[in-house]
Chains A and B, each alone.
Chain A
Amino acid sequence: MTLWWVADAILLVLVLPIVIYLLRGILTAARSIVTSVDQIERATAAGSQDLDAAALLLTTRDQVKQTVAVVAGYGGSLDVIIDDAE
């Protein structure tokens, strides 16, 4: 009978706090992961929104092609007009 009471006391004083401590650690870690996932979600959403301007690179490429073509024509004219250095 006494040993049984001792076992109950051990369960109450030792096992129950250990179980609560371990489970609380798991819960704290899980909640911290939730916070991190929220931050990652906001970052990826912002990154995805920033990349909306990437489509303008097509326009930039066309503009660069036209500009280089104009520069090439202008350079060709200068090559004909101006004498060489030597």
Chain B
Amino acid sequence: MLPIAAIGPGTGSIVVVALIVLAVVYYLVSTIVALRKITAGLDRVIGNVGEILSKSQPVEEIVTDINGQLDAGVDLLEGLLVKKAGLIDAVGLVDGLYPGAAAAGFRNFPDSTTVDAPRISEVYTKGTLTLARLGREAPIARGNPAGAVLRNVEGGSLAARLLYPDERQGRPAALPRSPVIGTDSPVQYEQRDDIGKPRKRMPSA
């Protein structure tokens, strides 16, 4: 008799059910282990998210405050520039420093978007001359009684010139050198005989 024939259908059922139970136990235990890893990972994630929340909580208030301060600075500088240079020259000046900026115009001057910006980087206008004055004539260039000087008097014109594109700052690369004169000069000229003598006069008719 074969061994398979020695077992009955009840024994077979028990073996099959045992196999099923073993499979269920194996996979359920593996799933439980995975779920415990998930739980531990999520706990760490929650901790990190809490840190992110606590660190980012004051950011909005601070950034809003900074934006308010910068807005006030922009309003001040725009207003001062337009007041001193005029709207047209102010737009041209800004466009000369930042090409294309005239299209955006000034924030507090809606009319500035329609201004035909003068080419201040090419043509000197009152606004440009106003800037140039800052480095040469303005009393602020002489010094600040409250502390260190705000502007170098000697370099003031250079500071104003640096506002323009590089090609406007250019100087001749190499000027011709001054001639060397004296007895040991490399080029000697013959002394004229008539120097120191009475001027030649035309013969009288």
Binding site for B on A (CB under 8 A): 1, 4-5, 7-8, 11-12, 15-16, 19-20, 23-24, 26-27, 30-31, 33-34, 37-38, 40-41, 44-45, 47-48, 51-52, 54-55, 57-58, 60-61, 64-65, 67-68, 71-72, 74-75, 77-79, 81-86
Contact = CB atoms under 8 A, between A and B. Distances in A.
Interface string B31-50: 10011011001101100110
Contacts of B38: 30, 33-34, 37
B20 A48 contact: no
Nearest to A31: B34
Contacts of B83: 79, 84-85
A51 to B, nearest CB: 4
A84 B84 contact: yes
A34 B37 contact: yes
15 contacts: A27-B30, A34-B34, A44-B52, A45-B48, A47-B48, A55-B55, A61-B62, A61-B65, A65-B69, A71-B76, A78-B80, A78-B134, A82-B134, A85-B83, A85-B85
Contacts of A57: 58-59, 62-63, 66
B95 interface: no
Interface in B9-45: 9-10, 12-13, 16-17, 19-20, 23-24, 27-28, 30-31, 34-35, 37-38, 41-42, 44-45
* Chain A interface mostly: helix
Secondary structure of the B contact surface, majority rule: helix
